[in-house]
Structure 1
Amino acid sequence: MGEDDDKYTKDGTVDHHGNPADKTKTGTWKACPFILGNECCERLAYYGMRTNLTLYFKNRLHQHSATASNNVSNWGGTCYITPLIGAFIADSYLGRYWTIALFSVIYVIGMTLLTLSASIPGLKPTCYGKEDCHATVTQSAVCFLALYLIALGTGGIKPCVSSYGADQFDDSDEDEKKHKSSFFSWFYFSINVGALIASSLLVWIQDNIGWGWGFGIPAVTMAIAVVSFFSGTWLYRNQKPGGSALTRMCQVVIASIRKYHVEVPADKAVALYETAEAESAIRGSRKLEHTKDFKFFDKAAMEVPTDEIKFAADPWRLCTVTQVEELKAIIRLLPILAMGIVFSTVCGQMGTLFLLQGSTMDIHIGSSTFEIPPASLSIFNTLSVLFWVPIYDRIIVPLARKFTGHKNGITQLQRMGIGLIISIFAMVSAAILELERLKAVRKHNYYTLEHIPMSIFWQVPQYFLIGCAEVFTVIGQLEFFYEQAPDATRSLCSALSLTTVALGNYLSTLLVTIVTKVSTRHGKLGWIPDNLNYGHLDNFFWLLAVLSVLNLGVFLIIANWYTYKKPLGTLR
């Protein structure tokens, strides 16, 4: 019996037949390459489109600069809203394996259609020269159908793949548990490898060989990733779906409303209902200690005569303390999540206005004839991330630990705050560069030049600063949401953390729309005209810098208010 105990995992995972997972045959690092490969290829495909998509819309679909920027922002935002769908399906019905598999296939279908729309006569826009292209309504519709199929596909992959990789390591096994944190490092590394290839090789192919090849290569890569993912099926450990967190939260809200007249004792948490067993009534979750904020929802855990508990309570009338605290924990995360929206808007400029800014500058290396695609500058963002991750882990954390005594050097909230500060300097850098660029335009009358004689490499600092900010804020946010999420809602909270990117894209669209409408009154060209030499893009960057400062101030207040969750008991 003892031998069998050591042979199988103790975290509830099963193999692909539904039997308890054999530790010697499943999981750990032998299963992870298939998962990491899938994520790397998916990110390569995504960034291979996202990085240069603004110029595709502008030069091939013949869209106005502001329209192209907004369309990219809207699509990018949708890619980070759809994970809510994927997380719900994975947690409630299909599990992570089948969710990743199904949505990866949808992704490949979308990529294939996008490739066809850029390469097949009749589907691709008709071009009269390099930049003089026009797309029909049908051609544009096929392109956007493909892009939004891809957005749906990524929605099933993003919220599941990191958690699915973590599922391959048994928390009850100390040896395996040590490797779980290493998996997250390699996971983040694989994302940046995909981004690095996309922002260098694929962007060059799109600009110099053709969009058919530029979209076709990631389509083939994604197809290979799907085959690879299925190839590892017999090695995977799978967590069974644990039920709908959305339903549980609705139960708390409904039960609280039904008992709106019930008074909750001010200091008598023991009067609230909880199961007598050591484990929580929620599968896959530890019990949570009662907290004093959001007292209205405590009414859901108050026992009244009409509850008539016999064998089990009706969860639509009476909820456990843990179920109530699960909802409270999600609510407490929402303000922190909201503070990431402006940050995501700043980061989103790399694929929109940074790209348009770079397209007006000298794209040659020295006196050579080799041209650098403006979208390739995002490679410095990726290199910045790859540079700062080991610097943070190997130098900053040990140094900070000596002063703070905190095991991580600084808390996740402090880490996120530092990233917000750095993002302000990124916007200031972009604004100052645009000021200098416009000074050169006015001084030398460069208004009609497609590329003014100012090197595009002056953009490197703003890309590098955003990469540094991401290492602090984005990774800090991922860790924070994972640790503070109730055990049974980690997929949902992972998806929620991704929505900041979506909302940031939508905020960018809103700001560009408002700025364009206001700044073009009385016949003016506005801040963001087709020819940026006549515009004031610097004003938009200053606007984002001011919003970032205000956002930081609100974040500091909320971080000071935040109450950490308090788990009790054991995991079922």
Structure 2
Amino acid sequence: MEAVESNGRHGDAGADGRRTPKKDRRNMWASAFILVNNFLQYSAYFGVSTNLVNYLKYRLNEGSKSAANNVTNWQGTGSITPLVAAYLADAFLGRYWTIFIFMIISILGYGVLTASAAAALQGAVFYAGLYLVALGGGLLVVLAPFGADQFDEADEEERGRQSSFFNWFYLSLNFGSLVGGAMVWVQTSVGWGIGYGIPAIFSALSVAVFLAGTATYRRGQPPGGSPLTRIAQVVVAAARKYDVEVPPDASVLHERDADDGMSAIQGSRRLVHTAQFRFLDKAAVETAVDKAAPSPWRLCTVTQVEELKCVLRLLPVWASGIIFSAAYTQMTTTFILQGDTLDPRVGGFKVPAAVLSVFDTLSVMLWVPLYDRAIVPVARRVTGHKRGFTQLARMGVGLVILTVAMLTAGTLEVARRRVIARHGLYDDGTGDDGRYLPLSIFWQVPQYVVVGASEVFTFIGQMEFFYDQAPDAMRSLCSGLSSTSFALGNYASSAIVVVVAQTTARGGRPGWIPDNINRGHLDDFFWLLAVLCIGNFAAYLLIARWYTYKKTVD
């Protein structure tokens, strides 16, 4: 393996500073192994999650409500476990070993699921495997930063490739969702044992692929110790020095005295002092007490203080993702309710409403190469920015596009209600009695396609943004923030539905979202979501204007 300099940069360029063919090949192979690994992992995950509710209902004999709650509880757990993996990666294990250990946990989980399904074992065994999968599946927030670590940030060309990597990483995830979704047919037509055995094989193959690429990987950021401890030290030190005056000259604040640009945190570059959150700067003011008896709970470095500032600046951006996720998740809820009333017939076949989500996946597959190969070069010429858009601008475009998706869904709902009124199908049109609304389900395709476009801008933009703007020693943990915003968005969506249903159903009215949506006003619900998206975007513009990008001492 090629030499890695002590400051985390990679010494495999030519003598004149230009890239070498060897360096290009190494980047290509390392990225390929990681992308294939991601594809296999998500093929396995979606192979289990897509049809899980039906397994719980028909094999474990759970009621519909219980099965649905157990699925959402499992998915919620799967949104929290990434933080565990991220913390271990940043603090103690490093990203390589964290990925390996959690993939082994995933294999055990899929193995237990397969054995349980094949032998019709009791539910406790199945749930043990299911939650092992949830624990081992929290790798997105570690694997994505590990993939980005393969590119040298000191090399301008590699930084551009790093930005493209996030696009292709998300694309490989969507390919995995397509393959995993195909497992539904195997599970229902062939058997649950084989239907869960294939994801187990995918999981094992992902480990083999990951290990096969070991010689090509750059290990990236070494573990720097507990980031939570460092944050606590800054807060405690600043509080203990609440009456200390911060000097106007930031250069006199405490920092590691070195010429290599590295901080006292292992493998982490020094961060440039920023003027925001000045109270925290008190933690880096060296007093006579600090000189007599140094303590990390009284005196912190500027970089340590700036770590906390970086996290505080990320939180408002993170919060803006909650409303985005709440609107995005309508694709798996109200979009399906809407589609269930439309005509699903295509020749002699009937297309289930849930199947239309494939158009979201196909849209992502179209937009990723379009964005990477067409939109970015054009934007680069217009804006002069090396990435085409700033990361904040890219995410903001996605917020606007999702608003368009809600407006598109609302417009279709207005048309659907007019058809209902014209034909008097207030209690029909669900297909239960063989009658359907004279409106094809494929009128929903545009709203799914627009949602897919919003993902490419916002979700991928979030992955890149949280990696790039996180302190070096906290990149996995900060990447996990996007996972939690998605989880909170799902909870927010549920809360919005409950509030809207109860508020609009007063006085004997059916409300906006009754059991029979033909008598409801789902269009008003979509308008509400569009308004929330607009309000969220307005707040995001203020956040983006206030935000200060991270700078390192190079």
| TM-score normalised by the chain length of structure 2 | 0.85
State the Cα distance separating 1:121 from its structure 2 match.
Answer: 4.0
Given the superposition, is the C-alpha separation of residues 63 and 466 from structure 1 closer, same or farther in structure 2, using an over 3 Å criterion? Answer: farther
Q: Does 1:461 align with 2:442?
A: no
- Residue 229 (structure 2) aligned to one of 247, 250, 258: 247
Matches within 5 A, 1:300-379: 300-308=283-291, 313-365=294-346, 367-369=347-349, 371-379=350-358
Q: Any conservation in 1 of the 2:500–2:512 contact (CA below 8 Å)? A: yes
Residue 132 of structure 2 corresponds to 149
- Residue 474 (structure 2) aligned to one of 470, 486, 489: 489
Q: Any conservation in 2 of the 1:77–1:501 contact (CA below 8 Å)? A: no
Residue 409 of structure 2 corresponds to 430
Q: Per-residue CA shift, 1:507-566, capped at 9, x if unaligned?
A: 122223334444566777655455544554444333322211111111111111111222
Q: What is the rounded CA distance, in whole Å, between the counterparts of 1:393 and 1:34 in structure 2?
A: 20
Q: Per-residue CA shift, 1:431-479, capped at 9, x if unaligned?
A: 3333433444452351563373443222211110111111111122222
Q: What is the rounded CA distance, in whole Å, between the counterparts of 1:465 and 1:70 in structure 2?
A: 29
Residue 134 of structure 1 corresponds to none
Q: Per-residue CA shift, 1:141-183, capped at 9, x if unaligned?
A: 666554433222122x111112223344555678877754554
Q: Per-residue CA shift, 1:18-57, capped at 9, x if unaligned?
A: xxxxx89x95333444432221122222333444556666
Matches within 5 A, 1:535-546: 535-546=520-531
Q: CA RMSD in A?
A: 3.4
Q: Does 1:294 align with 2:277?
A: yes
Residue 146 of structure 2 corresponds to 164
Matches within 5 A, 1:26-105: 28-53=27-52, 63=63, 72-105=71-104
Residue 285 of structure 1 corresponds to 268
Residue 19 of structure 2 corresponds to none
Given the superposition, is the C-alpha separation of residues 521 and 101 from structure 1 closer, same or farther in structure 2, using an over 3 Å criterion? Answer: farther
Q: Any conservation in 1 of the 2:104–2:207 contact (CA below 8 Å)? A: yes
How many correspondences in the alignment? 533
Given the superposition, is the C-alpha separation of residues 119 and 553 from structure 1 closer, same or farther in structure 2, using an over 3 Å criterion? Answer: farther
Q: What is the rounded CA distance, in whole Å, between the counterparts of 1:271 and 1:280 in structure 2?
A: 16
Secondary structure of 2:345's match?
coil
Given the superposition, is the C-alpha separation of residues 180 and 473 from structure 1 closer, same or farther in structure 2, using an over 3 Å criterion? Answer: closer
Paired AA for residue 328 in structure 2: C
Structure 2 unaligned regions, length at least 5: 10-21
Paired AA for residue 482 in structure 1: Y
Q: What is the rounded CA distance, in whole Å, between the counterparts of 1:515 and 1:56 in structure 2?
A: 31
| TM-score normalised by the chain length of structure 1 | 0.83
- Residue 416 (structure 1) aligned to one of 377, 392, 395: 395
Q: Per-residue CA shift, 1:336-374, capped at 9, x if unaligned?
A: 110011111222222333234334433332x223x4343
- Residue 498 (structure 1) aligned to one of 483, 488, 491: 483
Q: What is the rounded CA distance, in whole Å, between the counterparts of 2:526 and 2:58 in structure 1?
A: 24
Residue 18 of structure 1 corresponds to none
Matches within 5 A, 1:178-217: 180-181=162-163, 183-199=165-181, 201-206=182-187, 209=190, 212-217=193-198
State the Cα distance separating 1:487 from its structure 2 match.
Answer: 1.8
Q: What is the rounded CA distance, in whole Å, between the counterparts of 1:237 and 1:414 in structure 2?
A: 30
Q: Any conservation in 1 of the 2:168–2:368 contact (CA below 8 Å)? A: no
Q: Any conservation in 2 of the 1:363–1:372 contact (CA below 8 Å)? A: yes
Q: Percent identity?
A: 52
Q: Any conservation in 2 of the 1:285–1:488 contact (CA below 8 Å)? A: yes
Given the superposition, is the C-alpha separation of residues 467 and 55 from structure 1 closer, same or farther in structure 2, using an over 3 Å criterion? Answer: farther
Structure 1 unaligned regions, length at least 5: 1-5, 15-22, 124-138
Q: What is the rounded CA distance, in whole Å, between the counterparts of 2:551 and 2:179 in structure 1?
A: 42
State the Cα distance separating 1:285 from its structure 2 match.
Answer: 1.8
Q: Any conservation in 2 of the 1:27–1:169 contact (CA below 8 Å)? A: no
State the Cα distance separating 1:430 from its structure 2 match.
Answer: 2.0
Residue 542 of structure 2 corresponds to 557
Q: Any conservation in 2 of the 1:10–1:172 contact (CA below 8 Å)? A: no
Q: What is the rounded CA distance, in whole Å, between the counterparts of 1:95 and 1:190 in structure 2?
A: 23
